[in-house]
Amino acid sequence: MSVRIPLIAANWKLHKTLAEAHDFLDKFRENLKLQDVDVVIAPSFLGLHSMAIALKGSPIHLAAQNVYFEEKGAFTGEVSPGMLHDVGCHYAIVGHSERRAIFGEDDTMINQKVRAVFKNSLIPILCIGESLEQRENGETEAVLERQLRTNLEGVVPNQAAKLVVAYEPIWAIGTGKTASSEDAQAGCKFARNVVDEMFNSDVSQSLRVQYGGSVKPDNARELLSQPDIDGALVGGASLDPIDFEAIVRGALG
Ligand code: PEP
């Protein structure tokens, strides 16, 4: 069985000026020695270039919060995976529930994005998760399976092995309502099982499955100690360098 290094990712959403982003980095990096944990920060597109320069030689990697699937052309306002790679990004968040709900991204578009991201040597952090209504109707597993099967269509096993899946129940995002560690573990394990059926056990044992949804310093350790939770995608609590550092430490056991 492969040993999966936990991956803690900060999704800053629509927050932080350049000065605030660099101030965060200075404070966050002050004490932290990163070993046995991967840390990823997703600033706005505008922060990527200067943060990549500031992080040169550091084990902290950058993610884009979004990406388009075309390489170039008449797509006003969009950013391509090749551009993200060029600027020093390693990851791209794809299919965040805010992109799905507010910007109307459907599973087909998310699949196009996942494939374009892999094609450009980036790693997708693919977000999946059920709404409260779907959970209450007992549809959680069907929703997760449908998202994984459509979002990963055309992906080949050696790509899938590098994938990061973020299981983010929509009702837990930004609400302060964290899933119980049992529910978070069950969602992450289910996602891994679907990947196992779609590909093979080498892939399902290599890919990392994060939990996301109101992860905070005081619940991180318990969530991250679950056997199928290989990290966290953190929104609100990632804006504060002290809170984010505490969450990263939670992954160290
Ligand atoms: C997110 O946006 O992916 C997220 C999990 O946000 P929060 O941590 O604020 O719930």
At residue 33 the predicted structure's pLDDT band, cuts being 50, 70 and 90, is confident
How many domains is the chain built from?
Answer: 1
Query: 88: CA distance to ligand 1 center in Å?
Result: 24
Give the pLDDT of residue 178.
Answer: 84
The catalytic residue among 98, 130, 168, 245 is: 168
pLDDT in tens, 216-229: 999 999 999 999 99
Query: 73: CA distance to ligand 1 center in Å?
Result: 32
DSSP type of residue 178: P
The answer as to whether 1 is a domain residue is no
The answer as to whether 24 is a domain residue is yes
- Assess whether 61 carries a catalytic annotation: no
Taking CA atoms, 171 is separated from 42, 115, 167, 175, 221, in Å, by: 22, 28, 12, 7, 21
Could you tell me which residues are beta bridge partners of residue 40? 9, 61
pLDDT beyond 80 at 31: no
pLDDT > 70: what percent of the chain? 98
pLDDT in tens, 15-27: 999 999 999 999 9
Q: What is the mean pLDDT of residues 117-131?
A: 97
Q: What value does the mean pLDDT of the chain take?
A: 95
The answer as to whether 242 is a domain residue is yes
- Residue 221 three-state SS: helix
Distance CA 1, CA 104 (A): 38
The answer as to whether 109 is a domain residue is yes
**Number of the ligand 1 atom closest to the C-alpha atom of 232:** 5
We report the CATH number of the domain holding residue 237 as 3.20.20.70
Q: Decide whether any atom of ligand 1 lies within 6 Å of the 42 Cβ.
A: no
Give the pLDDT of residue 3.
Answer: 82
Give the pLDDT of residue 2.
Answer: 63
- Domain range enclosing 58: 7-250
SS3 sequence of 20-63: HHHHHHHHHHCCCCCCCCEEEEECCHHHHHHHHHHCCCCCCEEE
